[in-house]
């Protein structure tokens, strides 16, 4: 079986190489037959990679330890679901998984564009095949998933216990999907530059891909944060670790891109900027992989130096250099006739939102690579930790939230003072009121007060927008309010889906402020029967239960939790010990309410469990971060939902393209 996997990867590499040449030759000479053949080669490549993935899964599920990968990341006692997810638990497997996603997305893009974009699609597909070649080269020659072990071990060394968790089962696939799907808009941007077809057709035909990418990047980040919160047991969810930053930067740039393309679609401005942004987003996905695999930057999750770094760096530099050269070459054609007219215009708000988002991305980038730079320049490794990121990004986040409220309410081109007052009077009043209430409640941190006040202001603007839309519908078609609301969102899903995403961002922002500024922490070692308290809660250590199976040992502490003296619940934080890896892990107990999370860690056991050390956090509002993540996901689904108007437009475009394709198929040697 392993030979089958190897063979498939080799064939896939050849197919990818062939499809580049066939695509480019076909496009240059107008040979539709070659373009069709290149498309089929990409589909065959996808089939080959799929077989390789199934082969590896087969090895993992069957505990086939003659495969080095299986022996390293699985074991006979590993629960089946984690045997399945071990595909992305290790380096070779995750690169294979990445390549698989890339080949699937390339195939879908090839299918979508079999009639559309006849000028640019071959080049875009060639770019995607080029990216696939890099990954397939790695899989064939550098980090091979089908290497064999001899002698064959009797037992595998198991998946890292920290990864034996359902969030870790879904976090990498969503992040990778987000990473990889950014390749499609990038490839079409590159194709636009190559062919000189620089109108916004590359943006329009990859708009949904960009949103899909953003959707999965959002989910990936949220799942990762949730995993850190539940599994790592330090009471937080984000530590500005290089690995986290690597996932956050593409998200920021993609967010900027999704906003600025609206300006190009509407006003035909910012063409260079949009092309640069999508290039940056794609490069950052490679950069993220580079820093996590190279060991250049020390992370608490110290990824071992795996020798992959130089390859990724070389590929990254090649991509950035080629793309920049293309941009410079085409820059004379990218001038746009329109211009900014007023600060009080939506495009100005979007421009500033873009600057702030890219600014945050740059600050994160700078802080992440600062240790390396300082070592090069000054010979001393200087690190910046969470305080740096919080100090820089705190104020920028406030600016971003403010712009989020302003942007949607002001008109394109320019707004009159009169309209401004009418739109903003109510939201501003709400914001001021929220700020005052916060101060009266005894909150003194200026940041928290400003943050809550701004959040209320933006909430006000969103409510105003919904109300305006609903009342307009009720006047025009006299619907009951609920029906009007549903129809409003359904008919204008891009706009109102966007507002739902904004609501999600607000909720997450409030959650972040609450959990960053008002967290309480108590660390205490207590004997059985003793109590201690945090906030309004009192916790009493009742005793320890021990439990063991073939896979792990578990010691579970029982704690009676009293809120204002009333028995509320029993919480059971535990310590686990994974036998195969000889590694301890923590199972945190969390009690969530809309107001605060009570988060209990069993940090240590002494004296045969008669004494236990607990680390307890009371984290206000943190649940709103997760709720905000859900809202963002729901909003994105609303945005992606195909609506009638768009489908009609698409049908027209496809109809036009079909005529051209028929012309191509009729050419000698056309078709299959």
Which one of residues 326, 411, 562, 603 is an interface residue with another protein (CB under 8 A)? 603
Q: Interface with another protein includes 163 (CB under 8 A)? A: yes
Q: How far is the CB of 649 from another protein (least distance, A)?
A: 28
Q: How far is the CB of 385 from another protein (least distance, A)?
A: 7
Helices (H), 295-345: 309-330
Q: Interface with another protein includes 388 (CB under 8 A)? A: yes
Site for another protein in 395-414 (CB under 8 A): 395-396
d(CA 274, CA 185) in angstroms, rounded, equals: 11
Q: How far is the CB of 305 from another protein (least distance, A)?
A: 6
d(CA 167, CA 91) in angstroms, rounded, equals: 19
Return all residues near 170 (Cβ < 8 A) that are at least 6 apart: 223
> Which C-beta is closer to another protein: that of 549 or that of 582?
582
Which one of residues 203, 351, 571, 625 is an interface residue with another protein (CB under 8 A)? 351
The secondary element (H helix, E strand) that includes residue 583 is strand 583-587
Q: How far is the CB of 359 from another protein (least distance, A)?
A: 4
d(CA 476, CA 29) in angstroms, rounded, equals: 55
Site for another protein in 292-331 (CB under 8 A): 293, 295, 298, 300-306
Which one of residues 208, 611, 646, 670 is an interface residue with another protein (CB under 8 A)? 611
The secondary element (H helix, E strand) that includes residue 163 is none
Write the DSSP assignment of 190-205 as a string of letters. HHHHHHT--STHHHHH
Work out the number of other CB atoms within 10 angstroms of the CB of residue 471: 12
Q: Interface with another protein includes 355 (CB under 8 A)? A: yes
Which residue bears the tokens 């930057």? 297
Give me 538's structure tokens: 């009192």
Which one of residues 225, 392, 505, 508 is an interface residue with another protein (CB under 8 A)? 392
Site for another protein in 8-67 (CB under 8 A): none
Q: Interface with another protein includes 255 (CB under 8 A)? A: no
Site for another protein in 523-552 (CB under 8 A): 523, 525
Q: Interface with another protein includes 77 (CB under 8 A)? A: no
d(CA 228, CA 336) in angstroms, rounded, equals: 45
Q: How many residues bind another protein (CB under 8 A)?
A: 74
Q: How far is the CB of 143 from another protein (least distance, A)?
A: 10
Site for another protein in 485-514 (CB under 8 A): none
Stretch that binds another protein, among 221-229, 362-370, 426-434, 657-665 (CB under 8 A): 362-370
Strands 574-578, 566-571: pairing kind = unpaired
- Give the per-residue contact string, 558-587, with another protein (x = CB under 8 A; - = no): -----------------x-----xxxxxx-
3-class DSSP string for 79-117: CHHHHHHHHHCCHHHHHHHHHHHHHHHHHHHHHHCCCCC
* Direct distance between the N- and C-terminal alpha carbons of the chain, in angstroms, rounded to an integer: 32
The secondary element (H helix, E strand) that includes residue 232 is none
Q: How far is the CB of 285 from another protein (least distance, A)?
A: 17
Q: How far is the CB of 406 from another protein (least distance, A)?
A: 14
Which one of residues 356, 410, 588, 621 is an interface residue with another protein (CB under 8 A)? 356
Strands (E), 182-335: none
The radius of gyration computed from the CA coordinates of the chain, to the nearest angstrom, equals: 27
Which one of residues 150, 151, 154, 337 is an interface residue with another protein (CB under 8 A)? 337
* Closest CA relative to residue 306, chosen from 148, 143, 162: 143
- Give the per-residue contact string, 129-158, with another protein (x = CB under 8 A; - = no): --------------------x-------x-
Stretch that binds another protein, among 46-54, 56-64, 89-97, 319-327 (CB under 8 A): 89-97
- C-alpha triplet 650, 652, 653: angle, nearest 5°: 65
Site for another protein in 190-249 (CB under 8 A): 233
Biggest alpha carbon–alpha carbon distance for the chain = 88
Site for another protein in 57-76 (CB under 8 A): 68, 71-72
Q: How far is the CB of 350 from another protein (least distance, A)?
A: 12
Work out the number of other CB atoms within 10 angstroms of the CB of residue 476: 9
Which one of residues 382, 432, 490, 659 is an interface residue with another protein (CB under 8 A)? 382
Q: How far is the CB of 94 from another protein (least distance, A)?
A: 8
CB 52 within 8 A of CB 29: no
């Amino acid at each position: 079986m392993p030979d089958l996997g190897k063979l498939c990867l080799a064939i896939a590499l050849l197919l990818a190489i062939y499809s580049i040449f066939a695509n480019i030759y076909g496009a240059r000479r107008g040979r539709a037959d070659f373009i069709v053949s290149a498309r089929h080669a990409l589909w065959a490549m996808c089939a080959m990679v799929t077989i390789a993935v199934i082969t590896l899964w087969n090895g993992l599920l069957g505990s086939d330890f003659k495969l080095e990968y299986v022996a390293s990341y699985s074991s006979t006692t590993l629960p089946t679901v984690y045997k399945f997810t071990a595909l992305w638990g290790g380096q070779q497997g995750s690169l294979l998984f990445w390549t698989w996603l890339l080949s699937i997305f390339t195939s879908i893009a090839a299918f979508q564009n079999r009639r559309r974009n006849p000028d640019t699609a071959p080049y875009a597909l060639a770019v995607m095949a080029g990216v696939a070649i890099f990954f397939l080269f790695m899989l064939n020659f550098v980090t091979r998933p089908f290497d064999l072990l001899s002698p064959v071990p009797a037992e595998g060394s198991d998946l890292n216990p920290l990864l034996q968790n359902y969030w870790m089962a879904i976090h990498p696939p969503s992040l990778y999907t987000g990473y990889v799907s950014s390749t499609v808009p990038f490839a079409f941007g590159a194709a636009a530059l190559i062919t000189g077809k620089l109108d916004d057709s590359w943006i329009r035909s990859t708009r949904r891909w960009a949103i899909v990418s953003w959707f999965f990047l959002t989910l990936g980040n949220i799942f990762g944060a949730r995993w850190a919160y539940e599994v790592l047991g330090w009471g937080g969810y984000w530590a500005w670790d290089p690995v986290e930053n690597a996932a956050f930067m593409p998200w920021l740039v993609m967010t900027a891109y999704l906003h600025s393309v609206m300006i190009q679609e509407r006003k035909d401005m910012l063409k260079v900027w949009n092309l640069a942004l999508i290039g940056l987003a794609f490069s950052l996905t490679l950069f993220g992989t580079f820093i996590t695999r190279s060991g250049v930057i020390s992370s608490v999750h110290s990824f071992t130096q795996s020798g992959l770094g130089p390859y990724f760096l070389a590929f990254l530099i090649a991509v950035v250099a080629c793309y920049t050269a293309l941009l410079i070459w085409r820059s004379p054609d990218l001038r746009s006739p329109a211009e900014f007219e007023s600060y009080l215009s939506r495009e100005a708000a979007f421009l500033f939102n873009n600057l702030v988002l890219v600014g945050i991305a740059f600050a994160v980038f700078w802080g992440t690579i600062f240790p390396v730079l300082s070592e090069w320049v000054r010979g001393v490794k200087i690190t910046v930790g969470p305080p740096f990121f919080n100090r820089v990004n705190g104020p920028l986040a406030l600016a971003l939230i403010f712009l989020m409220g302003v942007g949607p309410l002001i008109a394109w081109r320019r707004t009159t003072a009169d309209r401004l007052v009418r739109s903003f009077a109510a939201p501003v009043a709400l914001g001021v009121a929220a700020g005052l209430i916060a101060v009266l409640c005894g909150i003194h941190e200026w940041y928290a007060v400003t943050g809550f006040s701004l959040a209320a202001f933006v909430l006000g603007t969103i409510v105003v927008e919904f109300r305006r839309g609903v009342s307009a519908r009720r006047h025009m078609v006299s619907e009951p309010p609920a029906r009007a609301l549903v129809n409003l969102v359904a008919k204008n899903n891009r706009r109102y889906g966007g507002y739902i995403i904004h609501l999600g961002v607000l909720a997450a922002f409030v959650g972040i402020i609450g959990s960053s500024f008002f967290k309480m922490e108590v660390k205490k070692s207590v004997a059985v029967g003793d109590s201690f308290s945090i906030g309004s809660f009192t916790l009493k250590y009742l005793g320890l239960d021990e439990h063991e199976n073939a896979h792990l040992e578990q010691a579970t502490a029982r704690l009676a939790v009293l809120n204002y003296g009333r028995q509320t619940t029993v919480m059971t934080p535990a310590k686990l010990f994974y036998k195969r890896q000889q590694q301890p892990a923590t199972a945190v107990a969390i009690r969530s309410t809309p107001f605060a999370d009570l988060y209990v860690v069993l940090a240590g056991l002494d004296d045969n469990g008669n004494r236990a050390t607990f680390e307890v956090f009371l984290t206000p509002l943190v649940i709103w971060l997760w709720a905000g993540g859900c809202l963002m996901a729901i909003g994105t689904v609303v945005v992606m939902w195909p609506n009638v108007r768009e489908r009609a437009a698409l049908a027209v475009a496809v109809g036009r393209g079909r005529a051209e394709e028929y012309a191509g198929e009729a050419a000698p040697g056309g078709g299959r």
